[in-house]
Amino acid sequence: MSDEQKGAGKGKVSRLESAAILLMSLGEADAAQILKHMGPKEVQRLGAQMAKLQNITQEMVEATTSEFLEAVGGQTGLGVGADDYIRTMLTQALGEDKASSLIDRILLGGNTTGLDTLKWMESRAVADIIRYEHPQIQAIVISYLDPDQAAEILSNFDEKVRLDIIMRVASLETVQPQALQELNNILEKQFSGGASGQSSKIGGIKRAADIMNFMDSSLEGPLMDSIKEVDADMGTSIEDLMFVFDNLKDVDDRGIQALLREVSSDNLILALKGSDDELKEKIFKNMSKRAAELLRDDLEAKGPVKVSEVEGAQKEILTIARRMADAGEISLGGSGEAML
């Protein structure tokens, strides 16, 4: 991404859009071969982005292809010791627990089974599967899944059940290997396949906070109020660990610049309508002078907007920020560890 694309600029192509364009430019068979080596979240994000693509010019395709070829052009030895390379790379990037099932799927042709199968399913379908299970089982499943998917699943339950599950998640610490294996086996009876019996440290206050971060604002607020009514200390502890839009003030300048390259101008304008001057100035100073002036003008010209629209835009930007943090591209703690 070029320097002039920093900040909010209409028409800029994000990394996700570039990946979607590249896949769409390939034949169906080749694109399918690439997608089958990705995790559920990546497949869902790319699929959704490909569905959104419109008015893609030949120049955009050529530019995307050129950037990709330039990125891989200096690499040599492809295919030499590939298995060992993939195992080492994924383990270093994801850790042994997260990498193991993906390694099996890529190198051994194994199928995703048991609990991991749920990661590939629609959130509503997962909610239906666990709806009549014991609340503690529901909490373990919710804790095991990625926070954004867990939040979507919880939105399919009524308020009382949602409160019970999230408080159980916050109270979880570890799950014994045998208990996790038994749960895995129960699910495998529905999906069939091999087993994975690793013990996991799941749940806890931080996990509950991560899940709450991804919940729709209309659900998050009432749920937090309910948690505080039942256990004020737990509610405060969860709230303290939640990363909210205002916390972007704590992200270092390089991290803000990297984030701005992935955010659309329309979303940024909406999100900043509900922000204080300190955060706005943080954003302005990390843009080019012209981009900052244009953003100031757009903010002033923007009329009244619904609170729900502002919160929705802020949530979308926070989702991007968390994904970039998970990929090691930025640090949400403002520790200066951002990587561009």
Q: What gap in Å lies between CA 233 and CA 239, rounded to an integer? A: 10
Q: Are residues 148 and 222 in the same domain?
A: yes
Co-location of 256 and 283 in the same domain: yes
Please check whether residue 152 lies inside any domain of the structure. yes
**Does 230 lie in the same domain as 296?**
no
In a domain, 335, yes or no: no
Q: Is 176 domain-assigned?
A: yes
Structural domain for 207, as ranges: 122-241
Helix (H) or strand (E) holding 25: helix 15-25
My answer on whether 294 and 202 are in the same domain is: no
In contact, 244 and 338? CB cutoff 8 Å: no
pTM of the model: 0.47
Largest CA distance in the chain: 60
On whether both 229 and 138 belong to a single domain, the answer is: yes
pLDDT in tens, 170-180: 988 777 777 77
Identity of the residue numbered 304: P
Residue with tokens 């509950």: 208
Indicate the pLDDT class of residue 163, thresholds 50, 70 and 90. very high
CA distance 301 to 286: 21
Quick check: is 332 in a domain? no
Q: For residues 86 and 131, state if they share a domain.
A: no
DSSP letters for 235-298:
HHHHHHH---GGGGGGS-HHHHHHHHTTS-HHHHHHHHTTS-HHHHHHHHHTS-HHHHHHHHHH
pLDDT grade for 166, boundaries at 50, 70 and 90 = very high
* Cβ pair 151, 214 in contact under 8 A: yes
CB atoms within 10 A of CB 94: 15
If asked whether residues 228 and 253 sit together in one domain, one would say: no
Pair (237, 254) in one structural domain: no
Q: What is the reported pLDDT for 100?
A: 58
Residues 205 and 133 in one domain: yes
pLDDT in tens, 211-256: 887 787 778 888 988 999 999 888 888 877 787 788 888 888 998 9
- C-beta of residue 284 within 8 angstroms of C-beta of residue 296: yes
pLDDT digits (tens, 9 = 90+) for 58-93: 777 777 777 776 665 555 444 444 556 556 655 665
287 shares a domain with 236: no
- What is the average pLDDT value for the chain, to the nearest integer? 75
Q: DSSP character for 2?
A: -
Could you tell me where the DSSP H helices lie in 74-156?
A: 82-94, 96-103, 123-130, 135-144, 147-154
* Contact (CB, 8 A) for 78 and 38: no
Residue 169, Cβ neighbours under 10 Å: how many? 27
Structure tokens at 27: 């034949």
Residue 283 near residue 258 (C-beta atoms within 8 A): no
Q: Are residues 164 and 274 in the same domain?
A: no
Number of independent structural domains in the chain? 4
Residue 337 lies in a domain: no
Domain CATH for 21: 1.10.220
Please report which helix (H) or strand (E) contains residue 301, including its range: helix 289-301
Residue 194, both tokens: 């091999």
Question: What is the rounded distance in angstroms from the CA atom of residue 334 to the CA atom of residue 248?
Answer: 9
In a shared domain, residues 131 and 209:
yes
Distance CA 266, CA 258 (A): 17
Q: Is residue 194 predicted with pLDDT exceeding 50?
A: no
List the CATH number of the domain containing 195: 1.10.220.30
